[in-house]
Amino acid sequence: MGTVENARLVTPDGVLEGWLRVEDGRITALGPGPVPEPRGETVDAEGRWVLPGAIDIHVHGGAGAAFTDADPERARSIVEFNRSHGVTTVVGGLVAASPEDTLRQVAALAELADDGDLAGVYLEGPYIAKSRCGAHDPALLRDPDLEEFAAVLKAGRGHVRMITVAPELPGALDLIRAATAEGVVAAVGHTEATYDQARAAFDAGATVATHLFNAMRPLHHREPGPIAAALADERVTVELINDGVHLHPAIVGLAAAQAGPERVALITDAMAATGLGDGEYTLGKLRVRVENGNAVVVETGAIASSTIVLPEAISRAVHHVGLRLEDAARSASEVPARALGLTGVGSLVEGGRADLLVLDEDLSVAGVMHRGNWIRSL
């Protein structure tokens, strides 16, 4: 039991200058002004911002490990690394792999989801376009296969949360329908889809656009493609990699203005190099070189994931894009939670899980609480 007081709480209803109480890993009360009945340990936030813990629904690794390692302990180290930096909910992201490797990787991550360390598994492919493969090995890409997908779901034991599909591939719409019927979020990405093909995918049940603008047919005034289709569709949540490399701040601002704060999900798409600095690493089976924090595929020069942690995207959204902190915070918590159907997380509300991200005035991370326990104390 404990109380955080003298805080600027970022709630679904706006900023509340006040306090919140935590019991048994849940937020049991919050309100304005001084604490009416202090209970347990009281922590003075000293006027700092208190946000919901960040939620990264598209991340591949960190601290030298990758979810593709198919090693529960290495995967757990990624979760712990993120948690220490304020990302209290993580969905483990996989890249295109052989059918056998995919099943092995999904089964390993399902163990962590069983334990509650992961919020689920995300498959970025393998049913994506070779011409827009980005940092995926084109030799491992293939057309949608319902039997293979069913085997993946079985290996995931109910923990597969999302899969990215290129709508123009043969059988793509059938796979999108099959995914949504099983409660798996279908996303459109790594695609050459036309505007009409993307709209067909959304009509079939896809509700997310994978890292909008990146690895997809670009916006054109005579063929608007998947970007315009996603931004115009109120059913679609658009992912944005706000690391200053994948997208110019003006593009982030443009997308945020068009989609609105309820439909923008900030993600990292981060890889194993995150937290380690420059050097050569691997993403799946591809060699990736990191210089000054920028990751590129050695053989092709394509941008390969990012090396940021999600609170950095929040800070950049405010300082470089010009978004309100309340909107940036929502895009890194409430919106991704809602997009993937994650309940009990993403908002500072009574009954919600006590996951807190505390930021200093410059929006650097000052403290982190996970399930009511301070991971990084004030």
**Which tens digits make up the pLDDT trace of 19-68?**
999 999 999 999 999 999 877 899 999 999 999 999 999 999 999 999 99
Does the bond joining 126 to the residue before it have cis omega, within 30 degrees of 0?
yes
Mean pLDDT over 84-112 rounds to 97
Asked if the 54-339 domain carries CATH number 3.20.20.10, the reply is: no
φ, ψ of residue 252 in degrees (nearest 5): -60, -45
Q: For the ranges 225-239, 291-305, 332-346, which has the lowest average pLDDT?
A: 291-305
Share of the chain above pLDDT 90, in %: 89
Boundaries of every domain in the chain:
2-51+348-376, 54-339
pLDDT at residue 300 in the model:
84
The reported pTM is: 0.96
Tokens for 333? 């918590």
Which residues lie closer than 8 Å to 141 by C-beta, 6 or more apart? 96, 125, 126, 127, 128, 129, 130, 133
Degrees, nearest 5: CA angle 80-339-313: 50
| Helix, strand, coil fractions of the chain, as percent rounded to 5 | 30, 30, 40
The single-letter code of the amino acid at 330 is R
* Residue 292 reports pLDDT greater than 90: no
Per-residue model confidence as pLDDT tens digits over 189-224 = 999 999 999 999 999 999 999 999 999 999 999 999
Contact (CB, 8 A) for 68 and 27: no
The confidence band for 316, taking pLDDT boundaries of 50, 70 and 90, is very high
124 carries a ligand binding annotation: yes
CATH 2.30.40.10 applies to domain 2-51+348-376: yes
Residue 85 labelled as part of a binding site: no
Tokens 């936030």 sit on residue: 45
Q: What is the pLDDT of residues 153-163, one digit of tens each?
A: 999 999 999 99
Axis-axis angle for helices 225-232, 249-259 (nearest 10): 40
φ, ψ for residue 267, nearest 5 deg:
-135, 170
Catalytically active residues are: 269
